[in-house]
Amino acid sequence: MPTSEEFDVLLLSLRVAAVGTVIGLPIGLLIAWALAKTSMPGKVLLDTLVSFPLVLPPVVTGYALLLLLGRNGPLGGLQEDLGVEILFTWFAAALAAGLVSLPLMVRSMEVAMAGVDPRLELAARTMGANRWKVFITVTVPLAYRGILAGAVLGFARGMGEFGATIIVAGNIPGHTQTLPLAIFTNLQIGDDDAAVRFIVFSLAVALAALLAHRWMLKRAVV
- Is the predicted pLDDT of residue 202 greater than 70, yes or no? yes
190/193 Cα distance (integer angstroms):
9
pTM exceeds 0.75: yes
Q: What is the CA radius of gyration of the chain?
A: 19
Give the domain extent around 137.
Answer: 4-221
pLDDT of 220 reads: 58
Q: How much is the average pLDDT of 190-200?
A: 94
Longest dimension (CA), the chain: 66
Which of the two residues, 161 and 83, has the higher pLDDT score?
161
- Is the predicted pLDDT of residue 107 greater than 50, yes or no? yes
pLDDT of 73 reads: 81
Q: Cα dist. 92→103, 154, 170, 208 in Å?
A: 18, 17, 9, 25
- Is the predicted pLDDT of residue 89 greater than 80, yes or no? yes
pLDDT of 212 reads: 87
pLDDT of 222 reads: 45
Q: Do 61 and 53 touch, CB atoms closer than 8 A?
A: yes
- Is the predicted pLDDT of residue 217 greater than 80, yes or no? no
CATH classification of the domain holding 164:
1.10.3720.10
- Is the predicted pLDDT of residue 90 greater than 70, yes or no? yes
Q: Do 160 and 202 touch, CB atoms closer than 8 A?
A: yes
Average pLDDT, the chain: 91
Please give the tally of structural domains in the chain. Answer: 1
pLDDT of 59 reads: 95
- Is the predicted pLDDT of residue 137 greater than 90, yes or no? yes
- Is the predicted pLDDT of residue 208 greater than 80, yes or no? yes
Q: Cα dist. 58→35, 122, 191 in Å?
A: 24, 40, 26
